[in-house]
Amino acid sequence: MGNGLIDPFGREISYLRVSVTDRCDLRCFYCMPEHFNDYTVPDHWLSFDEIERVTAAFAALGVSRLRLTGGEPLVRKGLPELATRLAALPGITDLSLSTNANRLAQEAVALKQASVSRLNISLDSLQPKRFQLITKGKLDKVMAGLMAAKAAGFAPIKINMVVMKGINDDEVLDMVEFCLEHRFTLRFIETMPMGETGRNARDSYYLSLQTVKARLAEHYNLLPSIMEGGGPAQYYTIGATGLKIGFITPISQHFCATCNRVRLGVGGTLYLCLGQEHSVALCPLLRAGISDVALQSVIRKALWLKPLEHTFNQMQTQVLRFMSMTGGK
Ligand SMILES: Nc1nc2c(ncn2[C@@H]2O[C@H](COP(=O)(O)OP(=O)(O)OP(=O)(O)O)[C@@H](O)[C@H]2O)c(=O)[nH]1
Ligand SMILES: C[S@@+](CC[C@H](N)C(=O)[O-])C[C@H]1O[C@@H](n2cnc3c(N)ncnc32)[C@H](O)[C@@H]1O
Ligand code: SF4
Ligand code: SF4
């Protein structure tokens, strides 16, 4: 057997998504339930030392890409320090962060200095009132964060927009123009039924991105393209502008056959699939003093639990976790 992490379906796992919190300072209605206001760090959360240990074990097994996510990663105190430690691990070549940008104005420079190489930022509307309705947040604060990231030199910056029928689908062209102006990469995302919030959003507002793609093709010349990153987006360039647009289509055209990732939850649970419950609890092992070699062996064996694909399209499926519990991503 080689050194890489290979799952039962022959897929190589090279990307670990690390959730550093399940808390958030926004409340996107498709993601997070409205109650949930505690910002203390519970004992069952992994400490930075523990996150570093698990991540180092993955890196030793061939994982080269890390993404910090949540919840909102920037609500976890000291995040730039954690980023610095993880970026320095042997074998890690790409450390990225997903954020809502609400606190980015204060943190952008520190994150850049901490060797975060790429930022993906959620932005579902350019209209202040609508933004507030979707997220309960203030658009001007998020915009300030976004511009601070640009000024700090992050490139590419990827904008993630969950496109929902009757909520914000009339803004896709505005979003293209906004991203053209600022040289951001734009990715559209389909609503997934994660937790009760996600299921409600999927049932009421799901829109296939195939429709959005067709609408955009009436306005722009979409040329198939590729983009740096380890994610599932299918990219196009708009004519000669250089603007890249990605379509993330877990429902209308899923990408599980090329899945390259697993997730570490904030409580130390290793989730083998975003859309399934298969998992292994690493926290008790860490706290019982497991050795590095044994930890690597547990991770290798855990990979055999990785399912082939999600079952989001089967109505009876109940994924109980909210997206904020494991991170989109
Ligand atoms: N079904 C499914 N959707 C995913 C998965 N990973 C990410 N997504 C979706 O893609 C969206 C964007 O994810 P990001 O956190 O920006 O990460 P990414 O696209 O993998 O990142 P890059 O490395 O920049 O390509 C998430 O919000 C999810 O909706 C996955 O493993 N399965
Ligand atoms: C859970 S958030 C975590 C990182 C950060 N708070 C943010 O918003 O970017 C990661 C991504 O998941 C997406 N997401 C959350 N719930 C979703 C759902 N039900 N369907 C599709 N994407 C979802 C968000 O839009 C965001 O781009
Ligand atoms: S998508 Fe991100 S910003 Fe919105 S509620 Fe979920 S974790 Fe928070
Ligand atoms: S749903 Fe599961 S198998 Fe499909 S891409 Fe996401 S993590 Fe991989």
- pTM assigned to the model: 0.96
Which atom from ligand 2 is nearest to the alpha carbon of 120? Answer: 9
Confidence of residue 40 (pLDDT cuts 50, 70, 90): low
Among residues 135, 228, 216, 134, the alpha carbon closest in space to that of 173 is found at 216
Closest residue (by CA) to atom 6 of ligand 4?
274
Which tens digit of pLDDT belongs to each residue from 43-54?
789 999 999 999
251 alpha carbon – ligand 3 mean position (Å):
20
Q: Which atom of ligand 3 is nearest to the CA of 328?
A: 1
The model's confidence at residue 1, banded by pLDDT at 50, 70 and 90, is very low
Higher pLDDT, 96 or 230: 96
326 CA closest ligand 2 atom index: 1
- pLDDT score of 324 more than 90: no
Inform me whether the pLDDT recorded for 79 exceeds 90. yes
Kindly list the protein residues whose Cβ atom lies closer than 6 A to any atom of ligand 1: 67, 69, 96, 98, 118, 120, 158, 160, 189, 229-233, 248, 250, 261, 274-275, 310, 328-329
Across 98-108, b (16+ Cβ under 10 Å) vs e yields: bbbbbbbbebb
273 annotated ligand binder: yes
Tell me, what's the pLDDT at 34? 84
pLDDT, position 43:
73
Render pLDDT for 277-316 as a digit per residue (tens, 0 to 9): 999 999 999 999 999 999 999 999 999 999 999 988 875 5
Burial (CB < 10 A; 0-12, 13-18, 19+), residue 163, is buried
Which pLDDT value is given to residue 255?
Answer: 95
Nearest CA to 99 among 62, 50, 152, 52? 152
Q: Are 96 and 156 in contact (CB under 8 A)?
A: no
Residue-wise pLDDT tens digits, 102-115: 999 999 999 999 99
* Average confidence (pLDDT) over 255-283: 96
pLDDT at 80 over 80: yes
Domains of the chain by start residue, with CATH: 5-325 (3.20.20.70)
Nearest Cα neighbor of 101 from 141, 49, 55 is 141
Q: What residues are in contact with ligand 2 under a 6 Å CB criterion?
A: 24, 30-31, 69-70, 72, 98-100, 122, 160, 162, 189, 191-192, 194, 198, 201, 323-324, 327-329
pLDDT at 329 over 50: no
Q: What is the ipTM of this complex?
A: 0.98
pLDDT of residue 314: 76
Provide the pLDDT for residue 36: 66
Q: Report pLDDT for 81.
A: 98
Q: What is the mean pLDDT of residues 161-176?
A: 98
Give the ligand at the shortest distance from the Cα of 255.
4
Please compute the mean of the pLDDT values over residues 168-177 and round it to a whole number. Answer: 98
Find the 157 Cα to ligand 1 centroid distance in Å: 14
Average pLDDT over residues 177-195: 96
Does pLDDT of 317 surpass 80?
Answer: no
Closest-lying ligand 3 atom to the alpha carbon of residue 137:
3
pLDDT of residue 82: 98
pLDDT band at 38 (very low <50, low <70, confident <90, very high): low
When pLDDT is cut at 50, 70 and 90, the band that residue 325 belongs to is low
